[in-house]
Amino acid sequence: MQLLKIYYAYFSPGNTTEKVVSHIASSFQNYPVESINLTDYATRQEDYYFKENELLIIGVPAYGGRVPAPVVDALRHFTGSNTPVVLVATYGNRDIDDTLIELKKNVIDKGFIPVGAASFVCQHTFLKECAEGRLMKKI
């Protein structure tokens, strides 16, 4: 399959998840890249349709080992057509627990095919001393 476009969607109140997924998306240098900021309430209410020759990268922070509720609601507006998806979870040095599993469950019945997943330790949003400086310097 030849990819034609890369999308990255993220929920990132502390901006660390956005930095991680935008960095991943930027590695696709020969493709048009578009971002979807799910941190914004109005953006979460829009409907999104993705084709099979597009790639979606979804990034979320782990909240108590779970996908944040606003993201679960937003994903109800996402529809794929055998669209490959990469799942990304960030966490503040605790654990992602079931975040990636839950994220997968929220996309596979909507026409997406998970092709990869990753988790990244980042500085905690509220407890700055937890994993302090763990966000990659290059980002």
Confidence class for position 125, pLDDT limits 50, 70, 90: low
Residue pLDDT, tens place only, 40-89: 999 999 999 999 999 999 999 998 889 999 999 999 999 999 999 999 99
Placement of tokens 């079931």 in the chain: 98
Domain ranges of the chain: 5-121
User: Given pLDDT bands bounded at 50, 70 and 90, which one contains residue 93?
Assistant: low
Residue 137: what pLDDT?
Answer: 41
The pLDDT tens digits for 16-44 are: 899 999 999 999 989 999 999 999 999 99
User: What is the fold of 5-121?
Assistant: Rossmann fold (3.40.50)
Cβ atoms of residues 25 and 86 within 8 Å = no
The CA radius of gyration of the chain, in Å to the nearest whole number, is: 14
- What is the distance between the alpha carbons of residues 72 and 107, in angstroms, rounded to a whole number? 10
Q: What is the pLDDT of residue 138?
A: 41
Check if the beta carbon of residue 43 is closer than 8 Å to that of residue 16. Answer: no
Q: Is the whole-model pTM more than 0.95?
A: no
